[in-house]
Every structure is written in structure tokens, then in C-alpha cells.
Amino acid sequence: MKRILLIATGGTIACAKTEGGLAPALSPEELLARVPDAQSLCHTEAVQPFNLDSTNISPRHWLLLAQVIEKHYLDFDGFVICHGTDTLAYTAAALSYLIQHTRKPIVLTGAQKPIDQEDTDARQNLLDSLRYACSGDSGVCILFGGHVIAGTRARKTRTKSYNAFSSINFPDLAEVRDHRVARFIPCPQTGSPSFFHRLDTDVALLKLVPGLPAEAFAAIGRLCDGLVIESYGVGGIPDLYLEQLDTLAQAGKTIVLATQVPQEGSDISVYQVGHRVKERYHLLEPYDMTLEATVTKLMWVLGQSQNPEEIRRLFYSPVNFDLIF
Ligand code: ASP
């Protein structure tokens, strides 16, 4: 029987009602007790490194989760992480960079309703995740509503429905339906896993809105090492910020020019507003990467190197299906 480590971190799946609204309360043992069928699937052990609404999760929690998996990597065949849905896509992307070439499945899941509610999706998601973790597939992924999405491709696109996550610019990896796993995208060849222990968390995401003051643009850029600019369409910088961009580039900031359009990605050479800045400032662009992947990849890249050529090489090296372009 396969051995699976359940890592419980809080989220709606583990919530109970309080006078002040839902808050994480259940232990991993209590979660497992709600899915008795799991006993016939796998041998499960459980840990709970923290118990949070995922609104409160930050990069130090991603590093901690990667550490927990590294510590137990040889003892288990797969890992299931129960997590709040709100920042699940960021955690899945971050873990995709912190744990590369894993030949074991690392499956993140959660729920839109607490596991103790009658009409909950939690029991199905947890059971499907344990089943998928036993399937022998490799890599970091999100399982939600039967869909298995690469850890770098997920976005929470619905706040209430049970199909809360979409795979952006890439197909689902697999589906779990009626107790069966159907795999659509072959698992990549994997060797030994690489675990990383550093992120540069001084990375910010700045969403442009028409009329955003130039001083706000400059201020957020000054405060970080890496700046992801969520611009418009295929990508461009308004005239208003050219001077500020010049200052940031001269200060050695790593700047990524992304798009706020959810589908199909960037192509900043197309229009003059993008073309004029791309070469001049050696801007990076995400192409078809999600914003969640772009931000966490930049944290990982800047955690590995300060050298502009190496930063560029790492940023454009595909990891866990994050980039095709
Ligand atoms: N606020 C909750 C969380 O992210 C929402 C959820 O889990 O669905 O922890």
C-alpha cells in the first residue's frame, strides 16, 4: 500500500463556524476521519506545520512546506497538502520552483465549503487527491473539482463555485472521475529532486490603472529588487512612467513587463509602447506564464542569482510546464 503524507495547513476545508466567521480549526486527523474510504487507498500519516486562513500565508510558509517535504521525501510515495483556496495558486507555483524534478506527486487541494458541511466539496477533493497521490504521477499540481492542474498554471477564477480553479494557457494535466485517473499530459522525465531554500521576497506586483500617479509607480519600484508590472494587452509602458522606469533600470532592478489580460499572455515587441522599452531596459516578459508563476518564479530566480545574464537564463528556463511561448 502506498504511503502518503497529509500536510494540513488550514483553509476552508478545515474551518469551523465562529462568532466572527469561518476560521481554521480541524486537525489533520479530524480531516482524515471525515474520509474513511481513504483507509482502503493508502497508508496515511499527517502533519500540521500551521493552521491558517490562506490569506495569511506568505513566502516563509512556502519555504516551510518545501522543508517539510524535503525532510519526509524518502519516507513517502506522495504528498497531499490541504490549503485555503485564496492563495493556493501562489503556493502551488512557489512549490513548483522550490521542489523541481520531483518524481513523486505533490498534490495541493482545498475546498469551497468546510468538510463538516453536508453539501461540501471537501470530502471529494481530499479523497481524489489521496487517490491521485497514489497514482504514481510526478510533479507539483492542484487537484480541485476533479481537475488536475500543473502547479504553475492554476488560478482561482471563481470565488464560490466548486470548479474554482482554471488552468491558464495550458490544458489540465489529468482528471479524477468516478475513482479513476485519466492523464492527458505525459509526466516529464524526472531525475533526482532538487530542493531550493532561498527566495528573494522583495518582489512586487504593480497593476497599472489609467492615471496611476508616476510617484506611486516610482515608490513601489524603489522598495523592491524585482518588479512585475501588470500592464495592458500584450504589454506596454505608458509615456507617463518612462522617466521612472529609466531610474529603476539604472538602479539595477529586475523588471518584468506582464499583462493583466488573463488569457494568452504577453508579446511586448508588437506595439511601440512595449518595443521601445523592451530592448533598452532588458525587460523580461512572462509570455504565457501566469501572474502567480511569474511573481513566484522571480522570487526564486532572484534568490539564486544577482547576475543579469543568469537571471534571464533562469527566468526563461521552463519549470513544471510554466512556459511554452
Ligand atoms: N479564506 C479561505 C482560505 O483561503 C478560503 C478557502 O479556503 O476557500 O483559507
Q: Name 56's Cβ contacts closer than 8 Å, sequence gap at least 6.
A: none
Residue type present at position 49:
P
| 39 and 162, same domain (yes or no) | yes
Check if 230 has its Cβ closer than 6 Å to any atom of ligand 1: no
Residue 237, in any domain of the structure: yes
Distance (Å) from CA 114 to ligand 1 centroid: 10
Q: Name 170's Cβ contacts closer than 8 Å, sequence gap at least 6.
A: 150, 153, 288, 321, 324
Q: How far is CA 120 from CA 111, 116, 199, 309, in A?
A: 8, 7, 35, 49
Distance (Å) from CA 108 to ligand 1 centroid: 13
| 158 and 211, same domain (yes or no) | no
- Tell me the CB-side half-sphere exposure of residue 114, using CA atoms within 13 A: 17
Ligand 1 atom nearest to 88, measured from its CA: 4
Check if 121 has its Cβ closer than 6 Å to any atom of ligand 1: no
Exposure class string for 9-20: b at 16+ Cβ within 10 A, else e: bbbbbbbeeeee
Ligand 1 atom nearest to 52, measured from its CA: 9
Check if 114 has its Cβ closer than 6 Å to any atom of ligand 1: no
Question: Which CATH number do you get for residue 184?
Answer: 3.40.50.1170
Domain that holds residue 281: 203-315
Domain boundary among 195, 222, 249: 195
Lookup result for grid cell 524535503: 70
Check if 91 has its Cβ closer than 6 Å to any atom of ligand 1: no
Lookup result for grid cell 489521496: 130
Residue 238, in any domain of the structure: yes
| 136 and 238, same domain (yes or no) | no
Give the span between the Cα atoms of 205 and 168, in whole angstroms.
19
Residue-level pLDDT at 136: 87
Residue 17, in any domain of the structure: yes
Distance (Å) from CA 54 to ligand 1 centroid: 6
φ, ψ (nearest 5 deg) of residue 188: -70, 155
Residue-level pLDDT at 188: 80
Mean pLDDT of successive 10-residue segments in the chain (325 residues)?
A: 98 97 97 96 98 98 98 97 98 98 96 97 98 94 98 98 97 95 87 94 97 96 97 97 97 97 96 94 96 98 97 97 92
Residue-level pLDDT at 140: 97
Give the span between the Cα atoms of 267 and 259, in whole angstroms.
9
Residue-level pLDDT at 187: 87
Question: Which CATH number do you get for residue 286?
Answer: 3.40.50.40
| 191 and 215, same domain (yes or no) | no
| 22 and 161, same domain (yes or no) | yes
Catalytic positions: 12
Distance (Å) from CA 11 to ligand 1 centroid: 4
The pTM for the full model equals 0.97
**Is residue 62 within 8 Å of 93, Cβ to Cβ?**
no
Residue-level pLDDT at 191: 75
- Tell me the CB-side half-sphere exposure of residue 278, using CA atoms within 13 A: 18
Check if 109 has its Cβ closer than 6 Å to any atom of ligand 1: no
Residue-level pLDDT at 165: 98
Domain boundary among 162, 195, 228: 195
How many structural domains compose the chain? 2
| 59 and 180, same domain (yes or no) | yes
Of 34, 70, 64, 33, residue with least CA distance to 48:
64
Residue 321, in any domain of the structure: no
| 141 and 207, same domain (yes or no) | no
| 191 and 214, same domain (yes or no) | no
| 11 and 99, same domain (yes or no) | yes
Residue 323, in any domain of the structure: no
| 136 and 226, same domain (yes or no) | no
Residue 231, in any domain of the structure: yes
| 66 and 134, same domain (yes or no) | yes
Domain boundary among 195, 216, 231: 195
Residue 228, in any domain of the structure: yes
Q: How far apart, in Å, do the first and last CA atoms of the chain sit?
A: 40
Residue-level pLDDT at 325: 74
| 103 and 167, same domain (yes or no) | yes
Residue 126, in any domain of the structure: yes
